[in-house]
Amino acid sequence: MTITERDRHYVSTTLSEARVNLEIETDGMTLNLGPQHPATHGTLRIIVKLDGEQVVACEVGAGYMHRGYEKLCEVRTYPQVTTLINRIDWLSHFANEVPFILAAEQLMGIEAPPRAQYIRTIFHEMARLGNITLFLGEMGLQLGAMTATFYAFRDREHVLNLLEAVTGGRFHPNFDRIGGLKDDLPKGWVDECHAVMKKIRGFCDEMEDLVMGNEIFQVRTRGIGIIPKHIALSYGLTGANARASGVDLDLRRDDKDIAMAWKHADFKVWTHPDGDSFARYWVRLQEVRESTYIIDQLLDGLPAGPIMAKVPRIIKVPAGEAYVQTENPLGWMGFYVVSKGDLGPFRVKIRTASFNNTSVIPWVCRGLYVPDVITVLASLYFILGDIDR
Amino acid sequence: MSSADTDAPVAEAPTDERRDALVARVQAKLGAGVVETHVIPGVDAWVRVTRDAWADAAQVMTDLGFTFFDYLSAIDWYPNIHGKNEEPPTNPIVVPATSAELEHGVTGGETRFQLIARVYSPEEKIGLHLKADLPDDDLAAPTWSRVYFGADWHEREVWEMFGIDFRGHRNLAHLYLPGDFEGHPLRKDFPLLARHVKPWPGLVDVEAMPGEPDEDEDATEGGEGE
């Protein structure tokens, strides 16, 4: 069953190159989207070969933001690495730190105290809120609905303020430490957080009416850029992109061994069977709502106690290998860390969600019209730093 | 939610039946292709295969239901000869002549370059690492991109960063680097020029604070403010 599908994929990719329009003899046209196109979230270049207005072949040119983090990690000590990896996916800041810190902790054989685990999970979810609320507005912007963006920036501000109150940083908290956290929560923060969660749920309702209920939005997203389930799995799509294709995978629920507090929260993992751009938007909207409920539950159950385990002052990680991945806002983010017992890692492989999520673009864009390419790019939702690292 | 057990150690010698069974299944399918297996209970498992069995391994894993492709990468076991610019230049790192003399750490492996990939089973919710050693004189492996489409970009990345060839890959073009780039940046013998141009100021972080006695142990970092 999958063999024929694979064959079809390869045959169609090669055949489409050679296709000619028999009715009117037209030359193909090559259109360059980017690297400086507002719809590509930064410096990503999409080269599309057009036949009329239809995309015949599509190629992605990444690397305009390649900073070589895997190489840079090798010359830093473990605590210094978190500063770097904050900037991989700059909207998910804290969520990037978590898998690396967990991998280092796994190698050292220590575990953060429960309170630290709870606060970590809360911040991880808040990174999701900050990230995905922006998407919910931005998707409207890319389809021509400017209003939604302003709502998104307004409500994202509340989340960033909360983060700033604890960590001092709005974009790059650099708050996670091997063995726990840098600081505890300030007084009164929990109540404020509950209030913000209510606001975010209100924002979700607004977006449901304003964007998802909009007829133009629906026409432009429904049935556009359909990714079937087996393609999503084979390309390694994760996060909402995979769940919108009916893949029921969420590491927050499925990974029971990880030292995070998701196992103490009750939440639903939303999937959508359609796999089109609308489904991806819909799943993300539900996720934001679910995320606010997770935070509410964790705040209610926040245990008392220390926020830092006993850790030597100079951190030397024993030799070994560890791979930890978590469900980040954009999908799975994993760190494969090899240690030789030094102050710094020997090799760090960073598995980012956007890298796999964008690799499907050449597949999904074939046969689309040019404006639909923008819809697909917007709905796949990648961050350039997350592709290029 | 009480904090009853702060750091209760897990029971000694834990076993992981799921991962043990999984490794056994893979071993039964691949037969002589498997070189070494390793299970870290409750955490992860890996299977090291011969290079010739690398393509079969992908096929076997999809047949076993591991249809989700996670990532593919490589490790260079060469010592970091350019160091972190911390070592004095009069004291150069000794470079072994052959790959057999390299220190391979604990991740298994006998040669300088090792491929590593991870696949995941969406039904069983379990992942597995696969590894393969590459001989020094022939840095190449069969491609996975016909089984896992996602391997396409990952192999392109490994190709340009490590110089490992993937046979059967239909488009081994540069992904990140400009087309005329020379060298393979993630190899350990490729210098990180930024470090050579300017000394790294972050080094001070690992030294003891001024005016403090040198104590390595039992001082927690980031406790109450001093």
pLDDT of residue B20: 81
Does A228 fall in a domain?
Answer: yes
Residue B151 has pLDDT above 70, yes or no: yes
* pLDDT grade for A292, boundaries at 50, 70 and 90: very high
Residue A137 lies in a domain: yes
Cα separation, A166 vs A161, in Å, equals 9
Strand (E) positions, chain A? 29-33, 36-37, 42-43, 45-51, 54-61, 176-177, 180-181, 320-328, 331-339, 347-351
Q: Are A332 and A353 in contact (CB under 8 A)?
A: yes
Contact A321, A338 (CB under 8 A): yes
Rounded to the nearest angstrom, the minimum Cα separation between A26 and chain B is: 27
When mean pLDDT is compared across A3-12, B124-133, B148-157, B177-186, the lowest value belongs to A3-12
Alpha-carbon separation of residue B144 from A358, B32, B55, B138, B193 (angstroms):
18, 20, 6, 18, 33
Average pLDDT over chain B, rounded to whole?
A: 74
- Residue A308 is classified by DSSP as B
Calpha distance A167→A161 (Å, rounded): 10
More confident residue, A3 or A59: A59
pLDDT score at B107 = 65
**% of chain A exceeding 70 in pLDDT:** 91
Q: What is the pLDDT, as a whole number, of residue A13?
A: 61
Please report the pLDDT score of residue B217 as a whole number.
Answer: 47
Phi (first) and psi of residue B74, to 5 degrees:
-145, 160
Number of domains in chain A: 1
User: Residue B185: which domain range?
Assistant: 17-89+99-206
Structural domain contains residue B6: no
> A321 with B106: CB under 8 angstroms?
yes
Q: Which two tokens stand for residue B38?
A: 């390793």
Find the mean pLDDT for residues B32-38: 80
Phi, psi dihedrals of residue B72, rounded to the nearest 5°: -140, 135
Nearest Cα to A291, choosing from A265, A322, A320? A265
Please tell me the pTM assigned to this model: 0.81
Which segment of A275-284, B11-20, B27-36, B140-149 scores lowest on mean pLDDT?
A: B11-20
What is the pLDDT at residue A121?
A: 92
Residue of A nearest to B76 (CA): A347
pLDDT digits (tens, 9 = 90+) for A235-273: 889 888 989 998 888 888 888 778 888 888 888 889 988
Task: Provide the pLDDT confidence category of residue B94 given band limits of 50, 70 and 90.
Answer: low
Looking at the domain assignment, is residue A363 inside a domain? no
pLDDT at B89 over 80: no
Is residue A3 over pLDDT 60?
A: no
Q: Is the peptide bond before A35 cis (omega within 30 degrees of 0)?
A: yes
What is the Cα–Cα distance from B177 to B174, expressed in whole angstroms? 6
Contact at 8 Å (CB) between A349 and B116? yes
| pLDDT > 50? residue A22 | no
Helix (H, G, I), strand (E, B) or coil at B226: coil
A186 class by beta-carbon count within 10 Å (0-12 exposed, 13-18 middle, 19+ buried): exposed
Mean pLDDT, to the nearest integer, of B73-94?
A: 65
- Structure confidence at residue A62 (pLDDT): 81
The residue written with tokens 């691949």 in the block is B30
Question: How far is the C-alpha of A82 from the C-alpha of B43, rounded, in Å?
Answer: 22
| A residues 125..154 contacting B (CB < 8 A) | none
What CATH number does residue B63 fall under? 3.30.460.80
| Number of separate domains in chain B | 1
In a domain, B49, yes or no: yes
Task: Of A382, A381, A323, A379, give the one whose Cα is nearest residue A351.
Answer: A323
Where residue A136 sits, what CATH number does that domain have?
A: 1.10.645.10
Residue A140 belongs to a domain: yes
Confidence of residue A144 (pLDDT cuts 50, 70, 90): confident
Which of A302, A346, A387 should one mutate to test binding to chain B, selecting the residue with the greatest count of B CBs within 10 A?
A346
Domain span at residue A82 reads 69-353
Q: Is A252 an 8 Å CB contact of chain B? A: no
User: Tell me, what's the ipTM?
Assistant: 0.81
Residue B8 has pLDDT above 50, yes or no: no
Q: Which of B2, B174, B219 sits opposite A303 (nearest CB)?
A: B2
**Range with top average pLDDT, A369-378, B9-18, B183-192:** A369-378
Any domain includes B213: no
Would the pLDDT of B219 be above 60? no
Q: Which residue of B has its CA nearest to A323?
A: B44
Count each helix (H run) and each strand (E run) in chain A, helices first. 16, 10
Does some domain include residue A367? Answer: no
Beta carbons of B216 and A313 less than 8 Å apart: yes
Quickly state the pLDDT bin for A223 (edges 50, 70, 90): confident
Kindly determine whether residue A303 and residue B80, on different chains, have CB atoms separated by under 8 Å.
no
Q: pLDDT tens, A23-82?
A: 555 677 888 877 776 555 667 788 888 887 888 888 888 888 888 888 888 888 888 888
Mean pLDDT of A328-346: 86
Task: Please tell me what DSSP assigns to residue A94.
Answer: H
Average pLDDT over residues A164-189: 86
At A379, list the tokens: 């709905």
pLDDT at A150 (0 to 100):
87
pLDDT class for B218, splitting at 50, 70, 90? Answer: very low
Distance from CA of A89 to the nearest CA of B (A): 17
Residues A266 and A256 sit within 8 Å (Cβ to Cβ): no
Mutate to test the interface with A, among B66, B71, B164 (most CBs of A within 10 A): B71
pLDDT band at A15 (very low <50, low <70, confident <90, very high): low
Average pLDDT, chain A: 84
CA distance B205 to B226: 17
